[in-house]
Amino acid sequence: MLFLISKVLVTAFLIVIISEIAKTNERMGGLVAALPITTIMILFWLYYEKTPTEKISNHMSFTFLYVLPTLPMFLTFPYLINKFGFYISVILSIVMTIFFIFIVDFISKKFGYKII
């Protein structure tokens, strides 16, 4: 239980640090947010908890497959927020990401992965 609480606190701490960096320097905040810090932490946590290597490998494969449908959001959100404001942009980004998740799922099935 203590390990679980530690994981939550470390993850929350990182999110707060990244958001504070982004407030003062957008470029540095974007860079730090783009780094796979949480993914690397998850890998260490899975390894520490003696998760089988195959599960860790699958985790990385699925992480990659879920990153792909989010990429269009990163390209369009800056335009959307300037045109429609924050909340509409978030809603449109979520809808767009869901659409691309279905596309990636369709394509990934051809390679033996099912993400939905």
pLDDT tens per residue across all 116 residues of the chain = 888 898 889 888 988 988 898 899 988 888 887 778 888 888 998 999 999 999 999 999 888 888 999 999 999 999 999 999 999 999 999 999 999 999 999 999 998 888 88
Residue 101: count of CB within 10 angstroms of its CB: 17
What's the burial of 94, exposed, middle or buried (CB within 10 Å: 0-12/13-18/19+)?
A: exposed
Per the structure block, which two tokens stand in for 37?
């810090």
Those residues with Cβ within 8 angstroms of residue 39's Cβ, 6 or more apart along the chain or in another chain: 60, 63
Q: Are 68 and 100 in contact (CB under 8 A)?
A: yes
pTM (2 decimals)?
A: 0.72
Write down the pLDDT at residue 72: 95
